[in-house]
Structure 1
Amino acid sequence: MKKRIIAIVMALSLLLAVMAPVASAGASRKDTVLQFHQDGKFKIMMISDTQDTDKADQRMIHFIEASLDQEKPDLVVFTGDNIAGRWAGSTVEKVRTAIDKIIQPLVQRDIPFAVVFGNHDGESRVTTKEDQMAMFMAYDNCLAIDEGEALDGVGTYNLPILSSDGSRVAFNIYMMDSNDYDANGNYDGVHQNQIDWYEQTSNTLKAENGGDPVPSLLFQHIPVPQIYSLLKQVPFGVMGSVRGSGRNSTKWYVIDESKAEGVVKEGPCPSYDDHGQYDSWLRQGDIAGAFFGHDHTNNMVGKTDEGITLGYNAGCSFHLYGDGLNRSMRMFVVDENDAWNYDTYLVKYGDIMPDDGGCLLVDLIAVRTIDNALLYGYQLIKQLFEGITGSPETEPSTAVSGTEPEGAPDTGPAGTSDMAQAGTGSTEPSDTPATERSELSNGSAENPATGVSSAIPVLALVSTSAAVAFVLTRKKAK
């Protein structure tokens, strides 16, 4: 009997010894302290709109894996619409699998991550955002926090980053749940009690930093309305222009090249109402940049008149529409000795996965609505007629000089150039609306009928594209 007891004790001791490192690893990861490296650098990867099902498209997974291997980030932030929301045959386990598909690449590389939700995550019929947060938090490398009922939404929190010597908080990250839809079905935003929490946290960090604001990046899904301050309104018909949304839905815009650079291929869709979040940032003075997902084909970044950087990361899902090979991850490299002036750049699918495909029929939805499709058609026909009759004179604009490695301008929907979105080589719009200009009244000797005849195939293509885009947008993919 005595020997049997000793054997049992020894067996239990051995079992505990085997389990101890596993438990210890989990505990240490949950208690992870983010800290600048000895060289003073800290690298963050932003992944937006993965938005897929349990049968995740392998192109997206390969893109995530390749980006992680190339960039080796210290932290990954997911900025919402992490799963497709609802899909046919969805179950709790399939939601868990959909989450696991995007998290496993990080687990395998032992990279910590944080997550916020988008407007589609809560549309699941089988899980709530609370359920999904619990699934994320089950991973040892998850740093997300569920604040419970203390705040509106699910997952509003901050992640301090210590200096390389561990003596102070040198940088901070805010993760904000921008909620989903308001009572009228419009895009919602961050609520007042979340703003109050942000200000309290900001003040605490400031007090601990000798009264100076701690430079911070803020990530959330839905943009603030001030994103439109980086655009300029133009007449209908200007090449590269996009129709606004919400309160700006009757207007057309291009990037204001004096403030921003990058690509805008769909009208920004911010919260319908201004909840005062941006004004709160101005009061606190600690937001070095706020970055958003939500609008899958936009990757613009710029600085407002008040000095706050606002920016996008394009979506990386292949389950829904995107910008072809320009699907991207946005990187941030912060230097603790100059944390206000971080570097940010894009890792594009076409650059890192050149042989893996990427242009999908579903990307036609990038034109967003039938009126956008018709606009591009109009622009094509206008170009055709101007090619026959002679182009009207325009004044060249000044290109924005930026540090972001964007490469050459892309080819946009229906063959139009992205030069206005890309911020290079564009032309300023004429003061006269394009719709009021006569395309065939400049004395050209060419027969107008030739232009009309040549436009027939283009019109057919545009009509088909418009119909496809209209059908696809009815899926409410965004």
Structure 2
Amino acid sequence: MRPLRFGTDGTFRVLQMADIQDGPNVRPDTIRLIEAAIAESHPDLVVLTGDQIRGYDPAYIDTFLRRRGENPGARVRLVTEIEAKLRGVRRRIAAAHNPDVAPQDDVVTMDDLMDDTRQKVRDTFSAFLGPVVSAGVPFAATYGNHDFQCGILADEQDDIYREYPGCMNPAVNASAGDAGNSAALGIEPGTFAMPIEASDGSGRIAMSVMMVNSGDYAGKPEENDAQYPAYVANSRGLDLADSDGYGTPSDEAIAWLGSVQQELAARNGDGKPVPSIVFQHIPPQEFYDCLTEVPAWTPNAVEGARNYAGHCYVLNHEICRPGSRLGEAIGCADENVGEVDAMRDAGGYFALYCGHDHKNAFVGHVDGLDLGYAPTCGFECYGPKSRLRGIRLFEFREDNPRNYVTRMLTWGDLIGRYSSDEVRVFFEDHCVTGAVSLRNELRRPQVLAGVVLGTAAAFVAITRALIKRPRR
């Protein structure tokens, strides 16, 4: 693999693709958006920031994992079961999971099911990586809270990613001596550094792109079994009811944020931290610092989640870049493990970008650090209107990487106003799963106006019908 390097014009371009979140048959609109973004930007690197895999897709129903540590396929989400029936997907139960079935040659085994899922994961990767590989662009991937739920964990997904040309994901514990002077420096699947060399060929590291595995869910499955019946009854509304919330980066990853800067500084020989940007899936709690709390009736306000429940927020436009959008609550972990503090203490870090919350696309500047989002670029999962789904472009300059430019390459800008299945996207944009999401919808002025006009029209129609009703 050739080292990543600034171009002769002194620039380095990165595309962030967040939350593709699809099964083996990745939607054509998602592929079309990826192709258009690459053609528009001519990137030097593509970063995938988690939830590439829709682990709860019916395609993976036989090996679905609600949480790591469970038996594959043992506990499937109710919505997955319903979707499977609608799609005509039939479950295959391994003999090991059914004591009444004698193991025979014609009975499927767990190895069979896992091999089938591995192939489906490859099919998914091949679909969304197709435009990237065809364009010859290097890519790197970290993981979200749904990738592992297909049954194939991050370490094995890492191995599958490395089957594709241009993959920058290193083998665990790869060091500079393993793959040349610009080898990625990694400690675990999804947590590694990609040094970007200066354009003069000197080997000096001008900046670094860091990938961090932000975890999936907090708590252990066996500690949450008592809450599982409530989760089964309303798995969409209570996706986290049987857990302690979202996960966080590991203790090793937090420590690595400092140690990797020391290693990069040593490689440069000047002892100075290298200008660096971090990409991961789940945002830390500090993202709420980009918001302003407002009264509950404020138009377009969104209610916070979990620790921030009961409070409503809008963007703080004094610290957020123009064009920023807040479409849903920030889905951070309940625990603050000090990741942002570790970045500030280490020095060099100037930005942290996430995915996870499909409708958010803001960039705020808090205490010397940019905190930003890319929305979903997929068309299988929930998200904003078609024209607002997109891929985030970054352009860094070698002489000052901190002074970077970023903008969204959206479906609306690159392709058109509507997708090929706008009815589906409409329902994904206005998906209501509980009282909180209903209140958020009613704070959208257009939605509220539609509800008021619809209610008024219904009232008028009922009144007219009563007036015209013949008297006896």
Same-fold status (TM-score > 0.5): yes
Q: 1:220 aligns with which of 262, 268, 280?
A: 280
For 1:452 and 1:216, how far apart are their aligned partners in 2? Answer: 49
Taking structure 1 as reference, are residues 153 and 85 closer, same or farther at Cα in structure 2, changes over 3 Å only?
A: farther
SS in 2 for 1:67: helix
Instruction: Determine if contact 1:289/1:310 at 8 Å carries over to the other structure.
Output: yes
Q: What residue in structure 2 maps to residue 170 of structure 1?
A: 206
- Higher mean alpha-carbon deviation, 355-364 vs 86-95, is at 355-364
Please tell me the residue identity of whatever aligns with 2:288.
Y
Q: CA deviation at 1:356?
A: 5.6
Taking structure 1 as reference, are residues 459 and 42 closer, same or farther at Cα in structure 2, changes over 3 Å only?
A: farther
Alignment of 1:178-217 (within 5 A): 178-183=214-219, 184-209=243-268, 210-217=270-277
Taking structure 1 as reference, are residues 191 and 454 closer, same or farther at Cα in structure 2, changes over 3 Å only?
A: closer
For 1:79 and 1:109, how far apart are their aligned partners in 2? Answer: 20
Q: Residue 34 in 1 paired to residue 38 in 2?
A: no
Taking structure 1 as reference, are residues 456 and 285 closer, same or farther at Cα in structure 2, changes over 3 Å only?
A: same
Taking structure 1 as reference, are residues 378 and 318 closer, same or farther at Cα in structure 2, changes over 3 Å only?
A: closer
Instruction: Determine if contact 2:361/2:372 at 8 Å carries over to the other structure.
Output: yes
SS in 1 for 2:399: helix
Please tell me the residue identity of whatever aligns with 1:56.
V
- Deviation per CA, 1:1-55: give whole Å up to 9, x if none: xxxxxxxxxxxxxxxxxxxxxxxxxxxxxx2200011111111111000011111
Q: What residue in structure 1 maps to residue 84 of structure 2?
A: none
Instruction: Determine if contact 2:44/2:138 at 8 Å carries over to the other structure.
Output: yes
For 1:38 and 1:204, how far apart are their aligned partners in 2? Answer: 26
Q: Residue 310 in 1 paired to residue 336 in 2?
A: no
- Deviation per CA, 1:139-171: give whole Å up to 9, x if none: 121011242799986221000000001221001
Q: Residue 266 in 1 paired to residue 328 in 2?
A: yes
Q: Gapped runs of 5+ residues in structure 1?
A: 1-30, 381-411, 417-450, 461-478
SS in 2 for 1:315: coil
- Higher mean alpha-carbon deviation, 212-221 vs 451-460, is at 451-460
Q: What residue in structure 2 maps to residue 159 of structure 1?
A: 194
Instruction: Determine if contact 1:45/1:73 at 8 Å carries over to the other structure.
Output: yes
- Deviation per CA, 1:84-136: give whole Å up to 9, x if none: 113223322112101110111111111110000110001113x2222211111
Q: 1:145 aligns with which of 159, 170, 177?
A: 170
Alignment of 1:43-442 (within 5 A): 43-90=13-60, 91-125=117-151, 127-147=152-172, 154-167=189-202, 168-183=204-219, 184-209=243-268, 210-261=270-321, 262-304=324-366, 306-324=367-385, 325-354=387-416, 357=419, 359=422, 360-365=425-430, 369-377=434-442
Q: CA deviation at 1:267?
A: 0.6
For 1:323 and 1:153, how far apart are their aligned partners in 2? Answer: 33
Taking structure 1 as reference, are residues 413 and 273 closer, same or farther at Cα in structure 2, changes over 3 Å only?
A: farther
Instruction: Determine if contact 1:266/1:366 at 8 Å carries over to the other structure.
Output: no
Once the two structures are aligned, what percentage of the paired residues are identical? 29
Q: CA deviation at 1:362?
A: 3.5
- Deviation per CA, 1:163-220: give whole Å up to 9, x if none: 0012210010110000100103410111211111221111122234413221111000
Taking structure 1 as reference, are residues 111 and 152 closer, same or farther at Cα in structure 2, changes over 3 Å only?
A: closer
SS in 2 for 1:338: coil
Please tell me the residue identity of whatever aligns with 1:133.
D
For 2:213 and 2:435, how far apart are their aligned partners in 1? Answer: 31
Taking structure 1 as reference, are residues 366 and 147 closer, same or farther at Cα in structure 2, changes over 3 Å only?
A: farther
Instruction: Determine if contact 2:139/2:168 at 8 Å carries over to the other structure.
Output: yes
Instruction: Determine if contact 2:411/2:417 at 8 Å carries over to the other structure.
Output: no
Question: Whose radius of gyration is greater, 1 or 2?
Answer: 1
Please tell me the residue identity of whatever aligns with 2:57.
W
Which structure exhibits the higher relative contact order, with contacts defined as CA atoms closer than 8 Å and separated by 6 or more residues? 2
Instruction: Determine if contact 2:217/2:246 at 8 Å carries over to the other structure.
Output: yes
- Deviation per CA, 1:275-327: give whole Å up to 9, x if none: 110100110121111100000010000100x1100000010111111112100
For 1:154 and 1:235, how far apart are their aligned partners in 2? Answer: 42
SS in 1 for 2:208: strand
- Deviation per CA, 1:411-444: give whole Å up to 9, x if none: x65669xxxxxxxxxxxxxxxxxxxxxxxxxxxx
Q: What residue in structure 2 maps to residue 470 of structure 1?
A: none
Taking structure 1 as reference, are residues 415 and 92 closer, same or farther at Cα in structure 2, changes over 3 Å only?
A: farther
- Higher mean alpha-carbon deviation, 369-378 vs 111-120, is at 369-378
Taking structure 1 as reference, are residues 73 and 378 closer, same or farther at Cα in structure 2, changes over 3 Å only?
A: closer
Q: CA deviation at 1:452?
A: 8.5
SS in 1 for 2:331: coil
Q: CA deviation at 1:263?
A: 0.3
For 2:352 and 2:161, how far apart are their aligned partners in 1? Answer: 23
Number of residue pairs aligned between Structure 1 and Structure 2 = 363
For 1:281 and 1:354, how far apart are their aligned partners in 2? Answer: 39
For 2:453 and 2:136, how far apart are their aligned partners in 1? Answer: 61
Instruction: Determine if contact 1:377/1:459 at 8 Å carries over to the other structure.
Output: no
Instruction: Determine if contact 2:186/2:192 at 8 Å carries over to the other structure.
Output: no
Taking structure 1 as reference, are residues 190 and 459 closer, same or farther at Cα in structure 2, changes over 3 Å only?
A: farther
SS in 1 for 2:125: helix
Q: TM (normalized to structure 1)?
A: 0.71
Instruction: Determine if contact 2:33/2:411 at 8 Å carries over to the other structure.
Output: yes
Instruction: Determine if contact 1:237/1:379 at 8 Å carries over to the other structure.
Output: no
Please tell me the residue identity of whatever aligns with 1:67.
A
Q: TM (normalized to structure 2)?
A: 0.72
Instruction: Determine if contact 2:303/2:329 at 8 Å carries over to the other structure.
Output: yes
SS in 1 for 2:333: coil
For 2:315 and 2:443, how far apart are their aligned partners in 1? Answer: 20
